[in-house]
A = this chain, B = another copy of it.
Amino acid sequence: MNARIFVGDRRVEGVAADDRGLAYGDGLFETLRAYRGEAPWWDAHWARLERGAQRLRLPLPDQDFVRAQADAALEGVDAGVLKLIVTRGSGGRGYAPAEAAEPAWILSAHPLPSALRDGLALRWCDTRLSIQPALAGIKHCNRLEQVLARAEWNDASASDRDADEGLMLDTEDNVVCATAANVFARIDGRWLTPRMDRCGVAGVCRAWVLSELNADESRLSRPQLESAETVFLCNAVRGILPVARLGERAWAPHPQVSVLRGHLAAAAPMFATHE
């Protein structure tokens, strides 16, 4: 893996064995679509990172310096993914954050993930998302719930091994998101997406879609979602992903989702070349 590792503004050889990201998942991350040597949605990703850092009271490295390093990591990359992890740095034992912690951060460039079929097949995950307003919305590194959920259909023996993504409910039966994407549904002529105030990640692409569709944030039950006129997923790596199936439920392609994809491709050409 092509990774650059830093502590504060110094490039270092490796990750410290006592890094708090490793010990406690005490960090944040961003996964950015890269296009023609840069990350076009940088500003939105950095803004979310700042919201997360404020919530966790985690000091961030200097944005200009990180961005210069990101540009260097993306040199010559026509299409790919840039991952940035920022942790609270080294920390010895014990949960108390050091008062003058210097953040550690890792930049890595990755190929685009393999394309998904056009019209995803979804499944429901058994693993629930717990309700934790203190961590909701931000993209922190405590992701065991997603790991467990994604593992449900990773098995050769899983009957729905060919599912593209899984939808997750919270512990109070509200639809929240897919394991690695946000979800939108058209219900009674309105576009709705789950609120991210109690769990889930408020995605960068979700924010674009919310504004573009003038959608509403809402609690959404499983029956509501299953009876929707159409459903799609979105994230900042893959853009808009129409959904064709959810278990037994099937949806035909929806003209408004095609229009939305066209608008996204116009606003962010990186999404025109993929899917």
Contacts and interface: CB of A to CB of B under 8 A. Distances in A.
A174 interface: no
A26 interface: yes
Interface residues of A, number: 62
Contacts of A56: 144, 147-148
A107 to B, nearest CB: 9
Contact of A151 (B97, B106, B154): B97
Contact of A94 (B20, B22, B23, B113): B113
A26 B143 contact: yes
A143 B95 contact: yes
Interface centre among A26, A56, A130, A132 (most CB of B within 10 A): A130
Minimum-distance CB pairs A-B, first 6? A25-B25, A14-B14, A130-B130, A3-B17, A24-B143, A142-B142
Interface centre among A110, A113, A144, A145 (most CB of B within 10 A): A144
B92 A180 contact: no
A81 B179 CA distance: 37
Interface in A110-146: 110, 113, 127-128, 130-132, 134-135, 140-146
B23 A85 contact: yes
A154 B132 CA distance: 21
5 contacts: A1-B17, A24-B147, A31-B93, A97-B154, A130-B131
A52 to B, nearest CB: 11
A17 B17 contact: no
Contacts of A154: 96-97, 99
A66 interface: no
A141 B171 contact: no
Contacts of A113: 93-94
A94 B154 CA distance: 12
Given A57-B151, A145-B134, A148-B56, A108 B23 contact: no
A141 B3 contact: no
Contacts of A88: 147
Contact of A180 (B94, B135, B141): B94
Interface in A1-60: 1, 3, 5, 13-27, 29, 31, 56-57
B14 A147 contact: no
Nearest to A98: B154
